[in-house]
Structure 1
């Protein structure tokens, strides 16, 4: 998958499948499943690193996890988030940060939250040859300013503002746009008006594609799950049960057994046992 094939997906009416992943094992599985785009999201702060929000994630964190995901991806287009305050201070700082994600991390595109002055950053990154995915609606990096994790664009003024921002990001050079937690009708309107594909998360079925965090869809997250998530497996429950069985087997001394063990040559084992005045371990 390339930027060109993602754009062609919209023209051909073929939904774009994106998954957010943060490490080599899950990236390999997602790639093998045939997803089109893999996003190394700064949501790794919440999902993997245990932070209360994404604002704690550093550029070094993002480079580290992008490198890990890169090693598991052969087919999908790899996108990485620019974390908090790496693209707000200046265009030069944004270019340096994006350059690290591409050069060190192996990303093929970067994603930025917001619009307004961000559109200038999108334009400069695109000019520098770094493809950009935009992100509108709920912006996790600005969750405090937005008043929490709530749907965006519900009134007419907000809806029109988001529509204008979407058009501005497209004009600035973004090749795709993530819409997070916006009303279905607004997402559909933005999708119809843009030439670039929209990728929804909590934005309804009318977007050109969808993205979910791999831990959410596999049932590996705990606590309250957003209504836009569909659980395709309950691996968290299965993992907990497996760990409980393992702990019980160790405590009951039913694991490990001889089949999980390695052995010395019989004569060596016997000599060691003779020195201790007992029988070889396997015969005790």
Structure 2
């Protein structure tokens, strides 16, 4: 199946919920694509630049790391490189003026409202946004500004669910819910939360489907045990065994020591 285009994503708005996952490893991207994920994303950093090519049948988004770029020109340069690397869309958590600069050049942009972690101090820290009339109006105003700037989608992170649902009905943008309820067009989770790789705190909005942390603990214990067995074999002379080595012909070996050869 071909990757969903921007047009495909927008045509799905209001018709069906899309599934979207943020990955950190190539094998996660491949697994998500094989599972039938609609959208896959990751940060656009050198060690992940090849991820999009590994999953050509899935809509792939590269995110511009927040704080890396000083102005729209720097973002546009990286966004163009990300598109060349195979991305179908770009996440940008910067201002509407930066989003406008990208959109003007034809870059499909996902913007971000609600709890934006690097800017969380402005909304009271790591908590839901939109509980008060003032905050709700702020979120709605930001959505309108980003829509006017040309973004095709908006990530709404931990926005109150009923507010997010109302906004979704009032904007032409694709709405992406990260902890903002089922009234948006796309449901979004981080792979680390979905697979249960985190220890300790798990975000309230995340649903964990596996316990990879326990599996990694088991594998780590197996690594330690294997290393201990290797050390013991080296100490006792049990390693290497005959199957692990190659010998030269004994007669030829003797010739090494004869000076008349």
**SS of the residue aligned with 1:71?**
helix
Q: TM-score, normalised by structure 2?
A: 0.83
- The reply on whether 1:210 has 2:192 as its aligned counterpart is no
**1:8 aligns to 2:7 (yes or no):** no
CA distance in 2 between counterparts of 1:261 and 1:113 reads 60
Per-residue Cα deviation, 1:210-257 (whole angstroms, up to 9, x for no partner): 111101110112221111111000011012112213322442459999
In structure 2, how many angstroms separate the alpha carbons of the residues matched to 1:261 and 1:171?
73
Please say which structure displays the higher CA radius of gyration. 2
Tell me the equivalent position of 1:92: 73
Find the aligned partners of 1:81 and 1:91 in 2 and give their Cα distance.
15
Q: In 1, distance between residues paired with 2:124 and 2:108? A: 31
Give the counterpart of 1:78 among 60, 69, 90.
60
Q: Which residue of 2 aligns with 1:143?
A: 120
Match of 1:110 in 2: 90
Decide whether the 8 Å contact of 2:26 with 2:48 is kept in 1: no
When normalised by structure 1's length, the TM-score is 0.77
Q: Using the alignment, how far apart are the partners of 2:188 and 2:37 within structure 1?
A: 10
The answer on 1:226 being equivalent to 2:203 is: yes
CA contact (8 A) 2:66 2:93 kept: no
Quote how far apart the aligned CAs of 1:161 are: 1.5
Q: What is the CA distance between 1:22 and its match in structure 2?
A: 2.2
Question: How much is the aligned-residue C-alpha RMSD, in angstroms?
Answer: 2.8
C-alpha change, 1:150 and 1:248, in structure 2 (3 Å) is same
**Using a 3 Å threshold, how does the CA distance of structure 1 residues 98 and 227 change in structure 2: closer, same or farther?**
same
Counterpart CA distance in 1 for 2:228 and 2:98 is 57
Deviation at 1:158, TM superposition (A): 0.9
**Partner residue of 2:163 out of 186, 203, 214:** 186
CA distance in 1, matches of 2:242, 2:19: 44
Residue of structure 2 in register with 1:101 after alignment: 82
Match of 1:240 among 198, 208, 217: 217
**C-alpha displacement at 1:179, in angstroms?**
0.5
Once the two structures are TM-superposed, the CA of residue 90 in structure 1 deviates from its matched residue by 3.2
Q: Distance in 2 between matches of 1:119 and 1:29?
A: 34
